[in-house]
Amino acid sequence: MKNSYNISGTDSTVYDCSLIEMPKHHHERGNLTVVNTEQTVPFDVKRVYYLYDIPGGESRGGHAHKALWQLIVAVSGSFSVTLDDGHIKRTFLLNRPYLGLLVRPGIWRTLDDFSSGSVCLVLASEHYDEDDYIRDYNDFSRFKNETSASTL
Ligand code: TYD
């Protein structure tokens, strides 16, 4: 499964993004969830970051990536992730530490409705690169339309 990037960022749709249920090792002493590259996510994890202390009513994201893959996990609390491929939007509620949302390149994402004390863990396929961001929605629309034009 490693590096099976068979849909380009320009062609990706929200239906190519999915919730992944990760293995949960339940124990009286507490639970443990593992994310295995190759088995759980179709990319090698190069970077991990997390959002925390998010003030009530705040939203994050509001951008797309040209090549970056991500797995987004609510390791504590809950929040909503709205994905947008330029045509269709899908909103996912992340509220379990063993659920990960796989987000492909070329998808605009917005995170909001953070519960108090929630922590958003993100596993990413590449190191931080500002050039990989599309931060303007009009630029995003153009990026997605380039595809359609090039595949006509
Ligand atoms: P950004 O990705 O815009 O945050 P969000 O999508 O969660 O709202 O990043 C916010 C700031 O953090 C931005 O100025 C760049 C910095 N940053 C890094 O330096 N390295 C990273 O890996 C990430 C994700 C962000």
Question: Which are the catalytic amino acids?
Answer: 63
pLDDT at 14: 96
What's the first-to-final CA gap in the chain, in angstroms? 29
**pLDDT band of 43, cuts 50, 70, 90:** very high
CA distance 134 to 132: 7
Task: Give the three-class secondary structure for 137.
Answer: helix
Q: How far apart are CA 68 and CA 103, in angstroms?
A: 9
User: What's the whole-model pTM score?
Assistant: 0.93
In tens, the pLDDT along 48-81 reads 999 999 999 999 999 999 999 999 999 999 999 9
60 Cβ below 6 A of ligand 1: yes
Architecture of domain 14-131: Sandwich (2.60)
**What's the mean pLDDT in 127-143?**
98
Q: Which amino acid residue places its CA nearest to atom 2 of ligand 1?
A: 61
Q: If pLDDT is split at 50, 70 and 90, which confidence band does 37 have?
A: confident
Cα(81)–Cα(147) distance, integer angstroms: 24
What does the angle CA 147 – CA 134 – CA 98 come to, to the nearest 5 degrees?
95
Model pLDDT, residue 6: 67
State the pLDDT confidence band at 4, using cuts at 50, 70 and 90. Answer: very low
In the chain, what are the domain boundaries?
14-131
- Find the 65 Cα to ligand 1 centroid distance in Å: 12
| Strands 108-112 and 60-65, bridge-based pairing | antiparallel
pLDDT band at 8 (very low <50, low <70, confident <90, very high): confident
